């Protein structure tokens, strides 16, 4: 009987995975039956009162609104910049930096993509980067691949920290973790989540610093005339410099400011550093890489979206970037406790402490939310960019259509997670579903669990198409397994967050969105085949590091595996670079 309860607890997740992976249902179609399975298990197996289940659904809907509020604001600002000519100005600036396609992919994809992820999240960078690179002359498949591979390091802190502040918090609040936090001496949830965020930042920085090099190598291997990894690895000094230019400020920001700003400020700071350095030729390769002539492209490289998109109007670079600088400034201003702005804005929070008379609670924060700042700055863009009549309304409609595509999944996924978590109040006297599942997993796997923790995060992202929902769904489960095997729960939670972020490289939701924006609908399989290897690298490297961190840096053999792997990769890159230079000299 001991194995039956864990199987019942995993049934909602397995149901979604079966419908999405085996039957190829879209997530929006798979989530409603999964919610019904969860509700049925809660009512008839865990014997949770019907009113508590209903209250949990309402709690989930309130959390859904909070997430969609932020995402809508971010999408609205992007749409305003698209209509005002701001994005076109940014694109033109990128063209002037370097004609080398590897350099363009790193600057536009890795650095600007990280910045956009920090501001908007929820797959937005894949769409924006794909559009920008397509207009720069990239093959559609290369543009989409670039937008997906960078959906890793910045994602944990995307949309102003939503995956941690709403996702992970939503998965842990109202559970035994609250007692643990109090007993461990943490002053608040924010302090505890900050610790988790710092550990996630460390994992990301160590693993993600090689992403620009991997991106460059894949670009030349799949889209170069010579089909060679060597051409991509030959740019290793610039690629590693670009990786460090982002992850160092990214890590410092998460340590000193918290989970809201690492990707936003790390991407922005890295972008300024690398553009300044590239403008002076620092570490730029002597041999310029370009794609073969268009008539030599493989048929699958091209999509149906137009490659040359011209803006109706242009604005100055300072005015183009001003809205995002303003967003970053306002977010920092409102998040620093010493200034008192946070307390003032938090007074407008709408609280529902006992939903339907149960112990389940919920809240809506309409003014302190980043969504409010995004919408406020979007309105200022109308004046700042002197937008023509009709353009703002077009931007609002565009953002509305995009949020309508996102909402159906979240409307069912978040209530599913809340019912899943709130099953500890049943007459059957059982622990909640995540705790029952954790008991079964910990018994089967034991102390090596941290190696597998990132893969569970990726599974959640694959099922729900969202880092935030993956964290909400699996955080309590990961914390419980870590507690039972004696590993540091904060590190295992960090591994969950990192895995859920990296999973965006190959999730059905992200791949479909990236393919659609460049006109490659129907070619998602080709994209996944190209992004699966970077994803596997990310998960293995993160798992090895998490295993070492979780047990307090014990002198275990696997602790040295990641540095050794990095040294080998750099050595190979250097050797290939020398061979490539020798070949070019002979030619």
DSSP string, 507-554: -HHHHHHHHHHTT-TT-HHHHHHHHHHHHHHHHHHHHHHHHHHHTTS-
pLDDT digits (tens, 9 = 90+) for 117-160: 887 666 667 767 877 787 778 998 999 899 999 989 999 998 77
The pLDDT of residue 42 is: 92
> Which candidate, 315, 209, 107, places its Cα nearest to that of 116?
107
Tell whether the torsion through CA atoms of 502, 508, 509 and 514 is positive or negative: positive
Return the ∠ at Cα 395 (arms to 137 and 413), rounded to 5°: 90
The pLDDT of residue 81 is: 87
Measure the CA–CA gap between 270 and 472, rounded to whole angstroms.
Answer: 30
Per the model's pLDDT, the better-predicted residue between 349 and 489 turns out to be: 489
Return the minimum-mean-pLDDT range out of 108-117, 382-391, 397-406, 561-570.
561-570
Give me the phi and psi of 194, to 5 degrees please: -65, -40
The pLDDT of residue 558 is: 45
pLDDT digits (tens, 9 = 90+) for 9-29: 888 878 776 776 677 777 678
**Contact (Cβ atoms closer than 8 angstroms) between residue 418 and residue 361:** no
Give me the phi and psi of 362, to 5 degrees please: -155, 170
Per the model's pLDDT, the better-predicted residue between 340 and 456 turns out to be: 456
pLDDT digits (tens, 9 = 90+) for 426-484: 888 888 887 787 777 777 777 888 998 998 888 778 766 678 878 988 898 899 889 88
Give the whole-number percent of the chain exceeding pLDDT 90: 32
Close Cβ partners of 488 (under 8 Å, ≥ 6 residues apart): 482, 549, 550, 551, 552
**Contact (Cβ atoms closer than 8 angstroms) between residue 428 and residue 5:** no
Give the whole-number percent of the chain exceeding pLDDT 70: 87
Per the model's pLDDT, the better-predicted residue between 188 and 200 turns out to be: 200
pLDDT digits (tens, 9 = 90+) for 242-294: 999 999 999 999 999 899 889 989 999 999 999 999 888 898 888 889 999 87
Per the model's pLDDT, the better-predicted residue between 503 and 314 turns out to be: 503
The pLDDT of residue 584 is: 53
> Which candidate, 257, 201, 90, places its Cα nearest to that of 498?
201
Output the CA–CA distances (angstroms, integers) from residue 116 to 78, 126, 151, 265, 308, in the order listed.
9, 9, 11, 10, 22
**pLDDT, mean of residues 541-566:** 67
57, with CB counted inside 10 A (0-12, 13-18, 19+), is buried
Q: Is the pLDDT of residue 392 over 80?
A: yes
Q: Is the pLDDT of residue 526 over 50?
A: yes
The pLDDT of residue 506 is: 80
Return the minimum-mean-pLDDT range out of 42-56, 443-457, 527-541, 547-561.
547-561
Q: Is the pLDDT of residue 346 over 80?
A: no
The pLDDT of residue 11 is: 83
**Contact (Cβ atoms closer than 8 angstroms) between residue 124 and residue 74:** yes
The pLDDT of residue 345 is: 78
The pLDDT of residue 244 is: 95
* Helix/strand/coil for 316: coil
**Please, what is the average pLDDT of the chain?**
83
pLDDT tier at 556 (50, 70, 90 boundaries)? very low
Full 3-state SS string of 159-202 = HHHHHHHHHHHHHHCCCCHHHHHHHCCCCCHHHHHHHHHHHHHH
Q: Is the pLDDT of residue 562 over 60?
A: no
The pLDDT of residue 115 is: 87
Return the minimum-mean-pLDDT range out of 45-49, 419-423, 500-504.
419-423
């Amino acid at each position: 009987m001991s194995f039956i309860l864990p199987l019942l607890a995993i049934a909602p997740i397995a149901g979604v995975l079966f419908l999405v992976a085996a039957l190829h249902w879209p997530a929006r179609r798979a989530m409603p039956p999964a919610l019904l399975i969860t509700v049925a298990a809660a009512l008839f197996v865990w014997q949770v009162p019907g009113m508590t289940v209903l209250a949990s659904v309402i709690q989930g809907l309130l959390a859904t609104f909070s997430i969609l509020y932020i995402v809508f604001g971010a999408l609205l600002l992007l749409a305003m910049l698209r209509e005002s000519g701001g994005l076109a100005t940014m694109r033109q600036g990128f063209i002037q930096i370097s004609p080398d396609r590897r350099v363009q992919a790193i600057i536009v994809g890795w650095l600007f993509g990280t910045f956009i992820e920090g501001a908007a999240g929820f797959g937005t960078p894949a769409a924006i980067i794909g559009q920008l690179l397509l207009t720069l002359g990239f093959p559609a498949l290369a543009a989409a691949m670039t937008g997906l591979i960078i959906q890793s390091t910045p994602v944990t802190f995307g949309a102003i920290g939503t995956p941690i502040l709403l996702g992970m918090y939503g998965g842990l609040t109202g559970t035994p973790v609250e007692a643990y936090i109090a007993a461990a001496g943490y002053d608040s949830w924010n302090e505890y989540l900050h610790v988790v965020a710092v550990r996630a930042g460390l994992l990301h920085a160590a693993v993600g610093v090689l992403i620009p090099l991997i991106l460059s190598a894949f670009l030349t291997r799949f889209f170069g005339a010579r089909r060679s990894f060597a051409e991509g690895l030959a740019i290793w000094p610039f690629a590693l410099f670009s990786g460090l230019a982002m992850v160092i400020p990214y890590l410092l920001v998460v340590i000193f400011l918290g989970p809201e700003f690492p990707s936003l400020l790390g991407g922005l700071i890295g972008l300024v550093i690398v553009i300044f350095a590239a403008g002076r030729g620092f570490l730029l390769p002597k041999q310029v890489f370009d794609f073969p002539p268009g008539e030599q492209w493989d048929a699958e490289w091209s999509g149906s979206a137009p490659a040359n998109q011209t803006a109706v109007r242009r604005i100055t670079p300072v005015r183009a970037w001003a809205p995002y600088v303003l967003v970053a400034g306002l977010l920092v201003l409102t998040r620093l406790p010493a200034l008192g702005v946070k307390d003032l804005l938090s007074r407008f929070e709408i609280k529902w402490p006992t939903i339907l008379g149960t112990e389940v609670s919920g809240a809506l924060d309409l003014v302190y939310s980043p969504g409010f700042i995004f919408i406020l700055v979007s309105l200022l863009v109308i004046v700042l960019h002197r937008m023509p009549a009709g353009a703002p309304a077009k931007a609002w409609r565009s953002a509305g259509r995009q949020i309508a595509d996102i909402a159906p999944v979240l409307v069912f996924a978040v209530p599913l997670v809340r019912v899943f978590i709130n099953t500890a109040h049943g007459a059957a006297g059982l622990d909640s579903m995540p705790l029952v599942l954790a008991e079964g997993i910990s018994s089967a796997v034991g102390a090596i669990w941290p190696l597998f923790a990132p893969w569970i995060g990726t599974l959640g992202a694959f099922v729900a198409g969202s880092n935030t929902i993956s964290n909400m769904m699996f955080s309590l489960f990961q914390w419980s397994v870590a507690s039972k095997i004696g590993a540091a729960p904060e590190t295992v939670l960090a591994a969950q967050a990192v895995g859920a972020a990296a999973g965006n490289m190959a999730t059905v939701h992200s791949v479909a969105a990236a393919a659609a924006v460049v006109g490659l609908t129907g070619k998602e399989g080709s994209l996944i085949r190209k992004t699966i290897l970077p994803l596997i690298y990310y998960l293995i490297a993160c798992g090895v590091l998490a295993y070492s961190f979780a047990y307090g840096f014990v002198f275990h053999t696997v602790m040295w595996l990641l540095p050794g792997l990095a040294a080998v990769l750099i050595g190979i890159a250097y050797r290939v670079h020398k061979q490539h230079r020798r070949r070019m000299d002979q030619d």
